[in-house]
Every structure is written in C-alpha cells, then in structure tokens.
C-alpha cells in the first residue's frame, strides 16, 4: 500500500461521517456566537451587570464601547474597501461548492457549502448591525440591547444551520450505508 492510500484510509474524507467535521461545526458556531461583531461576549456582559460597583461598571462600559467602535470601524472599512471583491470571491466559492457538492456528489463541497452559506448570512447581518450602530452612534445600554439582539439572531441562524447540516449529514450517512459503502 502506498503512502497516499494509507493517509486517505486513515483520515475519512467523507465529511458527514467524520468526527472532526462535527467538532469544527460546533467550534465555528460557538466562536461566532461568542464574538459579537468581534467583541467578546463576556465583555458585553461585564459592562451590563458589574454588580453595584459603579466605578468598575463605568470602566467596563467604557472598554466595551471602545471595543465596539474599533470593531465597527474595522467592519465598515473592510466593507468599503473590499466589499465588492469579497462578495465576488465568496459567491464564486459557494457556487463552486454547490456544483461540486450536488452536481458531482462531493461530500466535502456539500460540507463547505453548509458551513459557508450561514456564515455569509452572519457576515451580512454583522455589516447591517455595524451600520445601524454607527448611524445611531449607540453607546451604553442601547448598544448592549442592539448587541443582544444581534447575538440572538446569530444564535438562531446557528441553530437552524446545525439542524439542517445534521439532517443532511444523517441522510448522507444513511444513503452511503444503504448502498453498502
């Protein structure tokens, strides 16, 4: 047996039966849910409820406001400077994944598509939220409310994405085992 065959026999290249794919899916959505517009969620929570200590709460709120402003400027800059090019590249990759996955039956491309489409939706939602926060110059409690709403929407997208991916993965695994291979 040659090296190439040994590696691909050891590492199952079928995505939906591979434990690493499911771990990557869980880490992807966990990270996406934790970093709201690039701001760690614990920072938002610390700013919202830092006990009765007003000095500590004020410092936490200042830090959160500064971090959100930095991340919003970063997101809007990337959108302005590279938005059209990124849109074209992402659309190309997702179209290639659809064609390879469903026309040519490649599981890996299906997995990339099922990871990529919801993340593209989250990116668009993040741009929209960043623009809204920037336009309204939100700080303090209104900003926290907006971040809560954004995070909830991201979590709903994540739950739907995980559900659809799990259903498609189970279907694929059952189809392969029914065919005997």
Q: How confident is the model over 1-47, as pLDDT tens digits? A: 677 776 665 555 577 888 889 999 999 999 999 999 999 999 999 99
Kindly indicate the confidence band of residue 112, based on its pLDDT and cuts at 50, 70 and 90: very high
In a domain, 178, yes or no: no
Q: Residue 46: inside a domain, yes or no?
A: yes
Residue 154 lies in a domain: yes
Domain extent at residue 133: 18-173
Identify which of 121, 109, 91 has the alpha carbon closest to the alpha carbon of residue 172: 109
Q: Rounded CA gap, 148 and 168, in Å?
A: 30
Is the pLDDT assigned to residue 77 strictly greater than 80?
A: yes
> Is 180 part of a structural domain of the chain?
no
What is the distance, to the nearest Å, from the Cα of residue 44 to the centroid of all Cα atoms in its chain?
Answer: 19
Q: Domain for residue 2, yes or no?
A: no
Tell me, yes or no, whether 56 lies in a domain. Answer: yes
What total of structural domains would you count in the chain?
1
Inside any domain, residue 6 = no
- For residue 13, being part of any structural domain is answered with no
């Amino acid at each position: 047996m040659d090296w190439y065959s040994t590696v691909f026999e050891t590492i199952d290249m079928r995505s939906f039966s591979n434990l690493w794919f499911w771990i990557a899916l869980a880490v992807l959505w966990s990270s996406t849910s934790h970093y709201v517009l690039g701001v760690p969620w614990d920072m938002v929570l610390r700013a919202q409820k830092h006990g009765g200590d007003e000095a500590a709460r004020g410092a936490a709120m200042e830090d959160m406001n500064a971090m959100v402003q930095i991340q919003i400027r970063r997101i809007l800059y990337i959108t302005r400077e590279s938005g059209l090019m990124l849109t074209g590249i992402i659309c190309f990759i997702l179209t290639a994944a659809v064609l390879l996955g469903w026309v040519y039956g490649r599981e890996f491309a299906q997995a990339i598509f099922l990871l990529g489409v919801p993340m593209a939706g989250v990116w668009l939602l993040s741009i929209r939220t960043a623009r809204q926060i920037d336009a309204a110059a939100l700080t303090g409690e209104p900003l926290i409310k907006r971040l809560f709403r954004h995070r909830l929407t991201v979590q709903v997208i994540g739950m739907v994405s995980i559900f659809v991916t799990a259903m498609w993965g189970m279907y694929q695994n059952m189809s392969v085992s029914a065919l005997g291979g």
